[in-house]
Chain A
Amino acid sequence: MSITPLRPRAGANSPDGPPVRLVTPGAQNAAGMQDDNALFRAVVMPHIDEAYRLARWLTANGTDAEDVVQDASLRAFRAIRSYAGGNPRAWVLSIVRNTAYSWLHKNRPATIVSVDDLEAVELEHAKPDERRDDTPEASLIAKVDAEQLRAAIAKLPAPFRETLVLRDIEGLDYREIAEATEVPIGTVMSRLARARRRLLETLRQDE
């Protein structure tokens, strides 16, 4: 036996046990796969619903979202050994998000906003917000139906949309959102405020 397992495989080689297979390098790989599978199931599988919903908000399509989640799961599985024990949900969602953007970049290049343009987008979209000086009655939005609301969220630029979805739909806290979207908490806060204001504005216009 050339390789000594780091973790004793209890039972597999019990001294007084009847003939069992010795641990060979091949078996060692199999054990490694089992560990990866166990880790994957503990870290990734509990968050498939959230992953699917985020992918759906980012791709605006259920079938595409399923593809993205499958690709993201594979990426997560390949990277599972680099998972450092942080917040599993934020880790999984950050992979889903990156996968969704690569997917959009490849399949719908027209819809994707590059990182360089991001700041410009934020400024551009911030402007009309600042110009508005009305404070419409809040009760106006109470009549908004699910379809209108969904369409209005879908219209938000991606950085605003993902931040709003993660907070107001998925209920992540700011730290988790910062982790999942890979930006500082200050950016999460300003994107969230802008996203909510823009959304309210669109919903009022719908009325």
Chain B
Amino acid sequence: MPPTGATAERSLPLGEPQMSRPKSDDSSVLLVHAYLDGELDPANALSVAQQMGQEPALAAEAEHVRDLQNLIRDRLPLEEAPPGLRARIESRIGTTRQPRATPSWMHSWGALAASIAVAAVLASGSTWLVASSQQKPVQVAELLVSDHIRSLMAPEPVDVVSSDRHTVKPWFNGRIANSPRVVDLAKDDFPLVGGRVDVIGRTPVATLVYRRAKHLISLTAAPADDAFAIGGPNSINGYNIVRWTENGVAYWAVSDVEAKELETFAQLFRTSRNEL
């Protein structure tokens, strides 16, 4: 508080022009703001509350700040990023290489940090469920198309390369909560190329990659709950999308093969008995 005449002025009613306000960098003012922001420990909070009770200028400061915070909350609802921004970022990242090779020890730290980050996401229980339940079908489809495009540009479209379903299925164990159904469609001219882990929102999901002539088909399987509601577009940017749900699992097939061929693939996958 400024020392000059503070006592005399404090006895005046609020709103009197003579009342002087403490400077904005006065520590008592900063503490009132910190108090309202919940930044003080209990002892300091108590002493600030007492000070506010004694000094109307501080009480007024608190009231104004609260009004301002309420006003901001009421008038400025949180805006979401425009649709498509995430997909654009993902596809840009997908085609970006790290500027230089990183020493192997850093690589191992990166891997460690990644596993910690993923573990943190999984350990926080319902956090990712809440996050993923906000994924709209369109966003899911967009993400999967981005994943597909990125996989085409990556050195390898898959994390595990194998035409053998007995290799691909176990590879997912330990990476994904439920390893996906893997069927052999080689005799129907849809040979298996391998598998990879994609991420929808923050949820890792299994993606199988099949080949048709020179085209690749990404087939993603995820638990079919509200989060991965079926729906959305049949094609995005020229990539066809076929989706269906079976035994509590939602499937998306994404590819640049013709829609009819993709339907055939989906039909064969659903009816095939050649599974592990």
Contact = CB atoms under 8 A, between A and B. Distances in A.
A197 interface: yes
A140 to B, nearest CB: 9
Interface string A1-23: 00000110111101001111100
Nearest to A45: B86
B162 A17 contact: yes
A37 to B, nearest CB: 7
B67 A141 contact: yes
A174 B75 contact: no
B53 interface: no
Nearest to A4: B104
A129 interface: yes
Nearest to A3: B104
B68 A199 contact: yes
B270 interface: no
B89 interface: yes
Contacts of B72: 149, 168-169
Interface in A128-166: 129-130, 132-139, 141-142, 144-146, 149-150
A174 B110 contact: no
Interface in B65-119: 65, 67-69, 71-72, 75-76, 78-82, 85-86, 88-90, 92-94, 96-99, 101-102, 104, 106-111, 113-114, 116-118
Contacts of B215: none
A61 to B, nearest CB: 12
A80 B102 CA distance: 12
B102 A69 contact: no
Q: Is the interface of A mostly helix, strand, loop or mixed?
A: helix
B34 interface: yes
A49 to B, nearest CB: 5
B167 A17 contact: yes
Interface string A189-207: 1101110110110010000
Contacts of B117: 38-39, 42-43, 85, 88
A193 B21 CA distance: 13
B236 interface: no
A177 B102 CA distance: 31
A29 B155 contact: yes
B181 interface: no
A92 to B, nearest CB: 12
A70 B30 contact: no
Given A6-B104, A52-B81, 5 more contacts: A20-B167, A53-B78, A80-B110, A85-B117, A174-B39
Interface of B: 14-15, 17-21, 23-25, 29-30, 33-34, 37-39, 57, 60, 63-65, 67-69, 71-72, 75-76, 78-82, 85-86, 88-90, 92-94, 96-99, 101-102, 104, 106-111, 113-114, 116-118, 120-121, 131, 154-156, 159-162, 164, 166-167, 170-171, 174, 199, 202
Interface of A: 6-7, 9-12, 14, 17-21, 26-27, 29-43, 45-46, 48-49, 51-53, 56, 62, 66, 69-70, 73-74, 77-78, 80-81, 83-85, 88, 126, 129-130, 132-139, 141-142, 144-146, 149-150, 167-169, 173-174, 189-190, 192-194, 196-197, 199-200, 203
Closest 9 CB pairs of A and B: A11-B171, A42-B117, A52-B81, A146-B75, A39-B114, A138-B67, A18-B164, A21-B161, A73-B89
